[in-house]
Structure formats: C-alpha cells, structure tokens
Structure 1
Amino acid sequence: MTASRPDGRSKPGEQTLGRFAAGQLTRLCDALGMDPADAETYAQVLVESLGHAAGRSLDRPPPFLSTLSDDHTPVEYSLAFTPDAPPTLRLLLEPGCGADTSAHSGRVGLRVIREMAQRWNFATDQLDTLEDLFLPASAQGAFALWCALELRPGGVPKVKVYLNPAASGPRRAAATVQEALRRLGHPRAFAALPPADGYPFFALDLGDWDVPRVKVYLRHDDMSAVEAGGLSRMNAGPASAEIQEFLRTAAGFDADTPDRRTDDRRDARLRGRPALSCHAFTEAASGRPSGFTLHIPVRDYVQDDREALARAEAVLRRCGMDTAPLLRSLAAVTRRRPQDGVGLIAYLALVHQQGRPPRVTAYVSSEAYAVRPPLARQPAEAEATRRTPLLTG
C-alpha cells in the first residue's frame, strides 16, 4: 500500500474514505437508474457531510469508532422496496465521525444539518427544540447524531435525523424519549409504546415530507416470533402472522438446522444482536402510532452473505417485490463474492405506514475499512457477546 501522510490526509491518487464512498454511491445510483447529474450531486453531498474524514486515507484506521457499521465506516446504504415500483435509495451518514468526543460529534452533526436546511430550504425548529435533551454539553453514548438522506430525482433529498436517547446516560433514556415526545406535541405517545429493553434511537423527518414522522426505536432482547407479532400498536396495523412470518424468514427460524444464535425452532428466540422495532407518530389526537417497523439484524443469524441474500430474496418474493435491484446494488457496492464475508446485508426490515403499501428495506454496508469473515457454526454456549444494535435509515 502507498504510505499516507502523517496527518492522515491522502496523497494524490490515494484511496480515501470520501472517494471510496462516493464511488459506491455513484454506482448505486446508476444501478437503480437515477440521473447521472443527481448521482453526482448526492456524491458531493456525501463527501461534504463527512468533513475532514472524507479526505483521510483508507490505509489508516478509522479516525473514530463509529457504531453506524461493524467496521466503523460512517456510511451505510439502504434500499426501500415496494410492490410495482423501483426501490428508493437512502444514505445514512455520521457527519461528526472525525470528532474526538460524543459532544463534539453532536455539535458537528448539528452544524451539518443546519447547513443542509439552508441549502434545501427546510426548517429545523423541531430539532432545535430537542437540542438540550439529545446534544448536551457533556453528551454520553456511542453516537450523537446521524443523518439519513432519501435520494430523489432532482438532487433534493428528504432528510431524517437520528438522535441518541442515552445522551444524558442510559438510565435517563426512557425519560428523555418521553420528554421529547411531549415537546413535539405527542404527550400520550410514550404510553402507547410496547415494553422494551432499551431505547437506541429517536428520529425526526425534516424538510419536504408529505406527513413528517417522529419515530421511536425500541430494543427487544431474546425475542421470539410470537412476541414480535404483538409489538405493533397501530390502529388496523399489520397482522401478527405477517410479522411472525417475516421474522422467521429473516432470522432463519424456518431453516432445516436451527441457527447457532437461536433456540430450537419450537421456541426460537434471537439470542445474538437484538431486534429493533420502530413506532412512527404523525398525529397526536389518538395517541397511537401510525407506523410500525420490525428490524432484524440478519448478519448475526447467517454464516455468510450468500445466506443473507437468500433470506432477503425470500422476503422480497413473499411480498411481491423484484429482487433484481438488490442484486445490482450489491454488485455496485463491492466486487467480493457473498460467500467471502458476512455483514454486507446488515438488516432486513418490514415497514408498515398507514395509507401506504407495506415496504421491505435492505440495509447495505459500505465495508470501506474491513470485511467480516464468514461465521463458523458454533454451539449455543459459544454465542458472541451482545453488542449495541446498529441501524439505520
């Protein structure tokens, strides 16, 4: 490899985080039929949002151990599939990935969001209302602020912000979520949430959304399919059987051999990285969510990405969605074979929102810094230590 400069910045022609990720994004846009001019615009936004970290050589380790991905790349992609329509491409970023503390990262991220608001003419009032809750001067936690961009024709994305409820300490996470919902005009929303083992994310839609959402993410340890089927609190939401079927397919509960991180299929539970549920609120009158999503960390329940891809394809087919865009997208992100690593497909999610058809989202890792080797089949007693769940989009 070519030696990098002592300050971490690259020499001319050397591979950097910004060049690597921008190349992936440009190829993804092309694979999904987006206009080249829009692809160039979004690639430029990606590089600008990463700040100094974008110019850092990939010959050096990541400057900050971002929890956005397993190899600490502060970039992730996702594809949202619906029947009879091309998938929507989304980009998740950690703008403060080069900061030395969580508090500093949050300040950088907030500045980047406000610059986006000026560029694309949207308000940040709701985010400003929550600044003291999620971005305190002594912020704690593995992350402070992530930004998701839903890429649309015309070069103007929809923007989402993800905040850390544990910014003032994990014991205050539930109270932080409850207070945030109250400030945003949803005083009854917290009581409508199902039981949870943690509150990893709080999210806001900013900008040009038909119906902006406030979203609360919950962590569910050691969850079974039956328990997952009872998590939705939507009025006229998804049937329990549909949620159970999705979890069983994504987690491999219906496979011939029980997974190394699940119990016997008669009472199968997710024993590795936990599942997440997301509850979206758009109106306050009913106090109930208008959206429900179940996120399964498929990479923790497969041996390699060949198996993860098979699970993703099975989910898409059951929902009547085309699998070809996913195959093209994976080829745009990496040249490696699926069987040569695990984690390229990080999560699979089933999304329900009132007034819209169900969606399936596949989350795709950048792997700028490393590829996790395939997982060996291990006995249940050798299961990996549970880590903080990762998400995005």
Structure 2
Amino acid sequence: MDIRKLKNEIIDYSKSIGIDKIGFASSSPFTEMKNKLLIQQELGYQSGFEEKDIEKRVNPALIMEAPQSIIAIALAYPSKMGEKVESKKGQRRGIFCRASWGLDYHVLVKEKLKQLEAFISEKLPEARFQSMVDTGELVDRAVAERAGIGWSGKNCSIITPEFGSYVYLGEMVTNIPFEADQPLEDRCGTCNKCVEACPTGALVQGGQLNSQSCIAFLTQTKGFLADEYRERLGNRLYGCDSCQTACPDNKGKDFHFHTEMEPDPETVKPLLKPLLHMSNRDFKERFGPLSGSWRGKKPIQRNAIIALAHFKDETAVPDLITVMREDPRPVLRGTAAWALGKIGGEEAKAALLKVAASEKDEEVLEEIDKGLQFFPI
C-alpha cells in the first residue's frame, strides 16, 4: 500500500463527507503537554472532568498498541443565529454558548470519524483505530496543534486561519505510518484581548486557564455557585464565549456548513422563567440533543435563577417564591432566596421572612439571610 497515496485519498474523502479540516500528526508522546498538565494539577487548575491519568492524556501508546500516527479533524460551527430572538423586560432570556448550538458535537464528530474509519478499512483492512472526541484520553488541542489544524491560542482554544476558534475537534489514533503535517506558527503575537476579556480572570495568562474559576466550567457545576461568580455569570446558562468573541481572529467568522449545527433560537436562547418549572421529561425533549444538557437540568435552572437576578426581573418574583418554597433541591431553593433579595421588593422580602421561619436546611437558611441583607434595615 502506498501510504502517501492513501493519505491524499483520505484528505479528498474527508472533504466529500463534510470534514472542514484534516491533519496528520506523529504518535510520539506529547512531552510539552505533559509538563503543562503537571503544572495545572499542582496548581489545582484542572476541572475534574478530564481523564485523571496524565500519562494516558499524553501517550498514545497507552491508548492503542503500537500506534504509528494520529489523524486530527475539525468541523466549523456557526457563530451567529440566522433568526434572532430578543430578551426584553418581563421576557428575559438566557444563552447557551456557541459550542452547544445544534446537535451535540460529540455525536457529529464521532460520526465523521466512523465514516473515515470505514473508508480507510476498505482501502487497508489491517488498519486499526482508536477514535475520540473531547471525552477521550488525549488532549484534543495538543493533537490538533501538532497536526497543523491551527495554533494553540492564548484563549486555550485551537485557532484556525480559516474558521477562527469556532471549530469542533476530534482525532483518530491509528497503526498506519502517515507522514506528519507541519504545525502552524503561533499568530497571537502580543495580542492579549482574550485574557483581558475573561469575566473571572480564569485566563491567568495567555495559554493558561484556571478551570475552577472559568465560567464555562462553573455553569456545569451542580452545587451553590460562589458569591463572587454570581455577579459575573450574567445570563449564561451553559458555557462562555467571552474569550472567543474578543479574539480578532474570530472577527467575521461565521460558517453554516452543517445543518445539524444550526441553532434553534428558542432553544439556545430560551425564556428564563419557564425553565424554573420544567419537568425532567420536558427538559430532555427540548434540550437533550444539545451538548449543554449533559449535566441535567439542575445547573441550567440554577443559572437561570441567577440570570433573573442579574436582570432584576421583578416579574419573576412569584416564580422564584414558588421555587424557594416548594423545590425539593436545596441548591435551587437557596439560590432563589438569594435572587429574591437581589431583585428586591416588598413581596420578595415578605416571602423570605416567612420561609426563614420554616426552612430546615442550613445552607438554604444562609442563602435566605444573604437575600435579606439586600434590604435596608
């Protein structure tokens, strides 16, 4: 088998099935990335969602026996909605980040990788693969950078010359010795706009992220959100785009190549108040196809409550009182109590005082106290 010819055939085929960019990398260990991960671990900057074994994250030989190369792919996703819906008084809306618009990208990218596997297997039956998207062992960004998909930006995203950082990544470890492509030169230069735009300072410096204070991570947590981050959450329900929208390389980048990625405005920018009373079934039916639904409805509802407080939406007071009184989950009851104090008004204050007399959960009582402190003595 002529491996160089096969590589060119794979490139041509990838274009025919809607893969927007493809690159090839060596399967040698990612030594530089290992050093970065060890530093992140030592500093406590990891999210906890990633593979725990750092060796597996940087050594393809621990994932597949005798790997020879890695194929990296990228799919470009939209940055703008074709149809807009407005957030207005009495009808405030939250927002899902762009990477969660449309069908879950794990499904989309995995399907492209499966198609590639099938194509290669027809050409080379002895070929072996280990494909992964995001939740796999390897660091997607490190693979994509080595394969020449893009450079690793200061915002800790892969930035492609063609599509900016609005791309989903996936990779395939294989036993085929493909010739490696050349990595791209880092083009961030002296620009520091993403670091400056980070709402919580989670971008400690260019290329270094403290996941524990990153809003994209915080929106996925299930407990009480620390007070210092509530003010900065804004109306985000899942994820954060600040470091991407601030990037000059993303200016004017908006691609609509894949119909599955097209956002439904009412889904990705939903009305906030109805979210508070949504059943599990309703949530799965409406938001289940989004990648942003993977943690369930609880974080989304908690974030919706904080967003209503951000807007000081007085029309939401009755809804929040219902949550504070009746929701079985302490995190929701407590966050609603805090939000009522933030919004203010006599109805909110009276409800807080009444519930304070009957609430048993210590954390919820603490949040009720926080809510009452917003009112003048």
TM-score, normalized by length of structure 2?
A: 0.25
TM-score, normalized by length of structure 1?
A: 0.24
Q: Which structure has greater helix proportion? A: 2
> Which is higher, the Rg of structure 1 or of structure 2?
2
Q: Which structure has greater strand proportion? A: 1
